[in-house]
Amino acid sequence: MVTFFASLFLLVAGYFVYAKVVEKIFGIDDSRQTPAYTQADGMDYVPMSWWKGSLIQLLNIAGLGPIFGAITGALYGPVAFIWIVIGCIFAGGVHDYFSGMLSLRHNGEQYPSLVGRYLGNAMKAIINIMSIILMVLVAAAFVAGPAQLIDQITPLNFTMALVFVFVYFILAAVLPVNRIIGKIYPIFGAILIFMAVSIAIALLFMDRSIPNLTFENLHPGELPIWPLLMVTISCGAISGFHCTQSPIVARTMKKESDGRKIFYGAMVGEGIIALIWAAAGMTFFGGTGGLQEAMAAGGPAGVVNEISTSLLGTLGGILAILGVIILPITTGDTALRSSRMMLTDLLSKFMNTDNRGMILFITLAVGAPTFYLSTIDYSFLWRYVGWTNQFVATVMLWTAAIYLLKQHKFHWIAGVPAIFMTAVVCTYIFYAPEGLQLPYNTSMIIGFILTGIVLLWYAWMIIKHKQSITANQQSTVA
């Protein structure tokens, strides 16, 4: 119990202390006009209040990620609390803040365009492809899940439910951001918060106590903590999906000082939600062994339903249904909207993409494979989303680090978590079942060698930057 409250305190303190450090290093300027005004189009660039933007951002980035991922990560035991706290404050919050604020500074640019600016066109091309694929897979997953539950609890069959959800997706992706997303997302965001807070309060009155910190790996399947935990719990710690969503809200911000509340604040909010559900998972079932049995019987959705209905009664059942249906839908629709925006940016170099007809065409172009994937067994593709997600996050951290380096600012605030996440993704892909399945020690060696190569590149960029400064100073003196 002490560990849980200490973790909660640290997350809140992270927002009030470390987020201000991040903000100061970035350097906000409220005298700058934001893209919501300079690029106003009545579609994506629409001014909205910071509190509405915060709730929209929270719902965009959260969905079921901080619930399902945290429950799965709880199988490792209380060590999951450490990753959520450290990851959220020093990696996820930095990642989300810079992805949103760099987009804001560059007229609401999409994530791949930001990568191109600071890491080059080759990396931009890779990220463009990976980001759109990630968005399509996420949207497909979050169409099928709600449709299956609707099929079970309503007269609609799976196909009808699928069509119903998908039509909503298309509408949310093509209508102005303030028509659907701006009106109903704050309500759904409030439901997400209320659900988590209710579970947290109920946990305090259980006859079992939330376990305290132990560095022991309690996973029943004896899976290693490093690097699997860092990929299992992404939403709530650090997730590359977030940087694809940040430009949606960045295009609606009224002033730069709202960035800390919107981007870093939503990340901390998601971290708190993940912390609560991780605690619920490892407490409600009497340990990680009981949690694994519950996961085997009903999966994460079944675990959420059992915890909610048992702790909160009828209200819990309603919240569980709202969570399993609404939350993935509200993540899937913005995933589709993001993929539409990214593809629009790509095609804008070759054709006019500003008219509504072209917007609808591009949405359908990314919507067609999304709908198809939601009707088949795409689990063999979905297994790669976890690694892809963290790879995207790592590239965003490197983008922030190089931006700060070029701006003569303290780049290590993004560079250190970028190095850490580089080691995670480089090791994971060689060891994981969906990767190359190499022996653990072999994967560790290869992963750290690759990380060392990236470190050498980083050192070279730093040296190159210092040389350019020296050359400029000498030129000025001459």
**Looking at residue 201, which CATH number applies to its domain?**
1.20.1740
**Model confidence, pTM:** 0.87
- CA atoms of 286 and 264, how far apart (whole Å): 34
User: Is residue 342 in a domain?
Assistant: yes
- Dihedral sign for Cα atoms in the order 180, 183, 188, 189: positive
User: Is residue 427 in a domain?
Assistant: no
Instruction: State phi, psi for 337 to the nearest 5 degrees.
Output: -65, -40
Specify the pLDDT at position 415: 97
Domain that holds residue 351: 2-384
Specify the pLDDT at position 91: 97
pLDDT of the chain, 478 residues: tens digit per residue? 789 999 999 999 999 999 999 999 999 999 999 999 999 888 779 899 998 888 888 877 876 678 888 998 999 999 999 999 999 999 999 999 999 999 999 999 988 889 999 999 889 888 888 887 777 777 777 777 677 667 766 787 878 888 887 787 777 666 665 666 666 767 777 777 777 888 888 888 888 888 888 888 889 888 899 999 999 999 899 999 899 889 989 999 999 999 999 999 999 999 999 999 999 999 999 888 999 998 888 777 778 878 888 888 877 767 666 766 777 777 777 777 777 777 777 676 666 656 666 766 777 777 777 777 777 654 555 567 788 889 999 999 999 999 999 999 999 999 999 999 999 999 999 998 878 899 999 999 999 999 999 999 999 999 998 888 777 776 665 5
Detail the DSSP E strand segments found in 386-469.
none
User: Is residue 469 in a domain?
Assistant: no
User: Is residue 398 in a domain?
Assistant: no
Specify the pLDDT at position 96: 97
Other C-beta atoms lying within 10 Å of the C-beta of residue 256: 19
- CA atoms of 102 and 445, how far apart (whole Å): 35
User: Is residue 79 in a domain?
Assistant: yes
Specify the pLDDT at position 378: 47
Other C-beta atoms lying within 10 Å of the C-beta of residue 159: 11
User: Is residue 140 in a domain?
Assistant: yes
- CA atoms of 165 and 146, how far apart (whole Å): 8
Q: Which tokens sit at 179?
A: 């028509």
Q: Which tokens sit at 382?
A: 């979905």
Cis, peptide link before residue 227, omega less than 30° from 0: yes
Specify the pLDDT at position 181: 63
Q: Which tokens sit at 320?
A: 């569980």
Q: What are the distances in angstroms from CA 120 to CA 37, 114, 126, 127, 462?
A: 29, 9, 10, 11, 16
- Give the total number of structural domains in the chain: 1
- CA atoms of 401 and 320, how far apart (whole Å): 40
User: Is residue 67 in a domain?
Assistant: yes
- CA atoms of 113 and 117, how far apart (whole Å): 6
User: Is residue 171 in a domain?
Assistant: yes
Q: Please, are residues 91 and 397 in contact by the beta-carbon 8 Å criterion?
A: yes
